[in-house]
Structure 1
Amino acid sequence: MAKTGVTEGGSSLMANLWGLIKKAETNGDIRGVSICRNGPRVWRTINNPDSLCHRVFKARFFPDCLIFEAKDSTLGSYAWKSIISARDVIREGMVWRIGNGQSVRIREDKWLPVQSNRSVISSLPSVAPETKVSSLINPELRGWNSSLVNQLFLPYKASVICGMPLSIRLPLDKIIWGLTPSGMFTTKSAYKLLVSCNSTNLAGTSSSENQRLFWRSLWQLRVPNKLKHFSWRACNDALPTMTNLVMRHIATTEVKEDYRVKIFVIIAWMLWNRRNALRLNLQVQPLNRISSLAGSYLQEFLDVQDQTPTATDPSLPQQWQPPDENKFKVNFDAVVFKSCNQARLGVIVRDWRGEAIGPLSMLVPAAQTVVELEAFACRRAVLFAVELGLQDVVFEGDSLQVIQALNLDSTDHLTYGHILEDI
């Protein structure tokens, strides 16, 4: 940006403005705002496959894959380059909501309802990288194949997966935004995500003055120049690591560097403990199992750290009110038993005189949030009323979120939206 056309009277104002712009640029804010402002365009492209914009870009740049797998093109328009620049932000904050599981890979995609790590990070040697989540679903029962899930995953992870509610329609898998309760992309949440990532990457750099001192001391080191150059490239993330090669479309296999660091630390700790156990003549694990045990240990630790409290919606106790004459009222609720990681759905049907027509109690795996269980209970209550052949029915529950969601025009991006769409 050229600083031209500055008059004498406005020189001070322009100088201050230029200083603010340079400061924001140094902190990554200008680029972050630009990327986040292009985020809605990427979001609309993903969620409107029938739109003209999506069809044009897909035919030109990613005819045989998803937009996240499309490669940058030097012949692309400014609009396409803007989409590419914001695509990584969407990839970082998105999560797949499982419908039929045919579009989601077990090991490669983000689909787990765990905020700290939505991807499967433990080693699954019997599962191929391209294996879909649909292989874990029983299409006849419209639910998870619990025996297979328990066979492949650790107990805690298996309970998390089995607790994910599935739609009885088994619709298409859906990409939702994992950083807002509505599941919809917002520029504010995307910018917070970028700031959080930048803060993590810049940990330890206290000020620009400290950075200048660091670089000055680096170039004054009495070592061969090639070592200085190597250090400079390493500090600026300019070495040809696998991640950088993938970003430049030189390599095709992306490596999760953060995962490698975590695994390295755990393996080192396990090897140290194994050495101590051998010295004391204790039983130890064979060396060829250390790597897989480290992956399982890391995933179990991250999952436990991200457990969310199962707090119910605050509401004032109210006395039950009967429906109008010749009508029925169905009350539904869900309760969580943390000790056994299970939940129970309860449904009771009464007529206008208050007499019970039919009760229902159902034990299910505990979901990650109470609102998902309440949505599950609501769907079961509707199905129960249909099974009893009732008409003129009033449904009543104590979850304000579920009741408000039912009154929305669309629940397409809610984590439990596919459950409410079954009703």
Structure 2
Amino acid sequence: MSVFKLPNTLCDEMISLVRSFWWGQTNGRNKMAWLSWDKVCVPKSNGGLGFRNLKAFNLALLAKQGWRLQTNTHSLVHRVLKARYFPNTDFLHAELGSKPPFAWRSIMVAQEVVKAGSRWQVGNGSSIQIWLDKWLPTHSIFRVISPTGTLPQDSRVCTLIDEETGEWKADMIREFVDFIWHLIFIQHVGKELLELVVTIAWCMWYTRNKACHGTTRQSSQEIIFKARSMIKSYQLARLEKPHHKEPADIRWIPSDFPWYKINIDAAVFTVSKSVGIGVVVRDHEGLVVGLVAALSKRMPLPLGPFDAEAKAMHEAVTFAKDIGLQDVIFETDSAILSTALNDISTAPTSIDNVIQDTHHSLQAFRRTQIQHVKRIGNKLAHTLAHHAKGIDDYVTWIEETPPCIEPIVFQDALSV
């Protein structure tokens, strides 16, 4: 099943045998089937019995072979098939060819399945087409859907990346001033109207997607009614007071000698489309003195909160290397980030490259640890991250305490 596409008639006969065995028969007559076979094949986690859909299972195994041909380019099978069927391209763009053998024809059946489930992870961007390939980190269609701008149709993502710094060329990435921006900064509309406009826009997008899958398209009155109902439900939900359980110990705790502890945080500045990074290095006594330091840096990157946290960790590791530390504990208030750095297999795809870069840089230290800390125990880095909003590039403090965090340093020292 993992190499050849089973004929549909064979799959139907095998399913018929399984159904006969499962439901049983008496005197050559089948007993009543109490559940449709489609529902029987639904996973147990979704309320079904978890039986295999043979056709889908066969297609999944063939797609697995196709994915291996796409990713494992050093295997003997890949080299043989590539020389024969797609010498100038990859598996995703291969063609069936004339008079292909049954094995290759079977694998090509699953090509569309591989295409539907794959997307690019951006490296240098030289192989990725801006307008045609799926490479965006968003969870919609992963593809640029805006009209082609000043860049040609066949432009590559590498044209948007600075080769020397590896950063995005912000001046080449087109910024769109949309209707919401106009409402906020030109019309100065109220909060209630803005909420309604945004919710209606989402409902229009939602009903359009449902219509693409065969559902009847809603009328404008139905969309407006749905939007108002969603806003009302949201407002009622916010009235409920959640019960928060305070952690047992949320203080900042100093490291043991000879370790240094580095606290990291990031802040997102939406208006200026930039992020602030705060890094604080303290010794086992909790003091920002001697060979310890602090960093406040602003970077012109339109990142989200989680991406900014990952970037801040990468900058903190680089900063620790620059000042010559060897035994370092890195603390962040992002639980997902700390988990991803301790086990890179759990890293979200959107920041996988940054995590791998950071993990590789950690090998330069003698000993390192990645820990999670509550936000209240990360106040110094949090303050320096927001302090970056008022600076042009970055500021470092060596053998001195930044004035903006002196009271918090003193408070943390008293609580030790």
TM-score (norm 2): 0.55
CA contact (8 A) 2:268 2:276 kept: yes
CA contact (8 A) 1:137 1:143 kept: yes
CA contact (8 A) 1:405 1:411 kept: yes
Quick check: 1:143 aligned with 2:167? yes
Counterpart residue number, 2:311: 376
2:280 to 330, 348, 360: 348
Give the secondary-structure state (helix, strand or coil) at the position aligned to 2:99: coil
Q: In 2, Cα distance between the equivalents of 1:19 and 1:37?
A: 25
Q: In 1, Cα distance between the equivalents of 2:210 and 2:29?
A: 33
CA contact (8 A) 1:104 1:132 kept: yes
Q: In 1, Cα distance between the equivalents of 2:165 and 2:246?
A: 35
Counterpart residue number, 1:361: 296
Q: In 1, Cα distance between the equivalents of 2:84 and 2:97?
A: 10
- 1:317-340 Cα shifts (integer Å, max 9, x gaps): 721111111321111112234454
Q: In 2, Cα distance between the equivalents of 1:67 and 1:142?
A: 28
Summarize the Cα distance change of 1:98–1:334 in structure 2 as closer, same or farther, 3 Å threshold: same
Counterpart residue number, 1:203: 215
Q: In 2, Cα distance between the equivalents of 1:385 and 1:134?
A: 30
- How far apart are residue 412 of structure 1 and its match? 8.3
Counterpart residue number, 1:385: 320
Summarize the Cα distance change of 1:31–1:198 in structure 2 as closer, same or farther, 3 Å threshold: farther
Counting matched residue pairs gives 268
- 1:238-289 Cα shifts (integer Å, max 9, x gaps): xxxxxxxxxxxxxxxxxxxxxxxxxxxxxxxxxxxxxxxxxxxxxxxxxxxx
TM-score (norm 1): 0.54
1:66 to 90, 99, 104: 90
Q: In 2, Cα distance between the equivalents of 1:41 and 1:17?
A: 36
- How far apart are residue 86 of structure 1 and its match? 2.3
Give the secondary-structure state (helix, strand or coil) at the position aligned to 1:96: coil
Summarize the Cα distance change of 1:200–1:123 in structure 2 as closer, same or farther, 3 Å threshold: closer
Which letter does structure 1 place at the counterpart of 2:340? A
- How far apart are residue 84 of structure 1 and its match? 2.1
- How far apart are residue 12 of structure 1 and its match? 0.6
Which letter does structure 2 place at the counterpart of 1:402? L
Counterpart residue number, 2:250: 318
Summarize the Cα distance change of 1:199–1:86 in structure 2 as closer, same or farther, 3 Å threshold: farther
Identity %: 31
CA contact (8 A) 1:315 1:398 kept: no
CA contact (8 A) 1:102 1:132 kept: yes
1:45 to 56, 66, 69: 69
- How far apart are residue 380 of structure 1 and its match? 0.7
Counterpart residue number, 2:414: none
Q: In 2, Cα distance between the equivalents of 1:322 and 1:19?
A: 62
- 1:375-396 Cα shifts (integer Å, max 9, x gaps): 2111111100011111211111
Structure 1: gaps (5+ residues): 157-196, 205-313
Quick check: 1:416 aligned with 2:342? no
Counterpart residue number, 1:329: 261
Counterpart residue number, 2:124: 100
Q: In 2, Cα distance between the equivalents of 1:45 and 1:323?
A: 48
Summarize the Cα distance change of 1:136–1:23 in structure 2 as closer, same or farther, 3 Å threshold: same
- How far apart are residue 47 of structure 1 and its match? 2.1
Structure 2: gaps (5+ residues): 1-8, 42-52, 179-208, 217-244, 362-416
Summarize the Cα distance change of 1:18–1:9 in structure 2 as closer, same or farther, 3 Å threshold: farther
- How far apart are residue 95 of structure 1 and its match? 2.0
1:394 to 320, 329, 352: 329
- 1:3-47 Cα shifts (integer Å, max 9, x gaps): 69988635315x8499737998xxxx7644443343322222222
Summarize the Cα distance change of 1:19–1:143 in structure 2 as closer, same or farther, 3 Å threshold: closer
Which letter does structure 2 place at the counterpart of 1:384? F
Summarize the Cα distance change of 1:85–1:155 in structure 2 as closer, same or farther, 3 Å threshold: farther
- 1:103-144 Cα shifts (integer Å, max 9, x gaps): 101111111222224222333353222221111111122211
Higher relative contact order (CA 8 A, sep 6+): 1
CA contact (8 A) 1:61 1:71 kept: yes
Quick check: 1:112 aligned with 2:136? yes
Q: In 1, Cα distance between the equivalents of 2:355 and 2:40?
A: 47
Summarize the Cα distance change of 1:18–1:78 in structure 2 as closer, same or farther, 3 Å threshold: farther
Summarize the Cα distance change of 1:198–1:17 in structure 2 as closer, same or farther, 3 Å threshold: farther
Counterpart residue number, 2:176: 154
Give the secondary-structure state (helix, strand or coil) at the position aligned to 1:46: helix
Summarize the Cα distance change of 1:338–1:84 in structure 2 as closer, same or farther, 3 Å threshold: same
Summarize the Cα distance change of 1:387–1:375 in structure 2 as closer, same or farther, 3 Å threshold: same
- 1:118-172 Cα shifts (integer Å, max 9, x gaps): 222333353222221111111122211111224xx5358xxxxxxxxxxxxxxxx
Counterpart residue number, 2:152: 128
Summarize the Cα distance change of 1:22–1:321 in structure 2 as closer, same or farther, 3 Å threshold: closer
- How far apart are residue 354 of structure 1 and its match? 0.8
Higher mean Cα deviation, 376-385 or 80-89? 80-89
Cα RMSD between the aligned structures? 3.6
Counterpart residue number, 1:76: 100
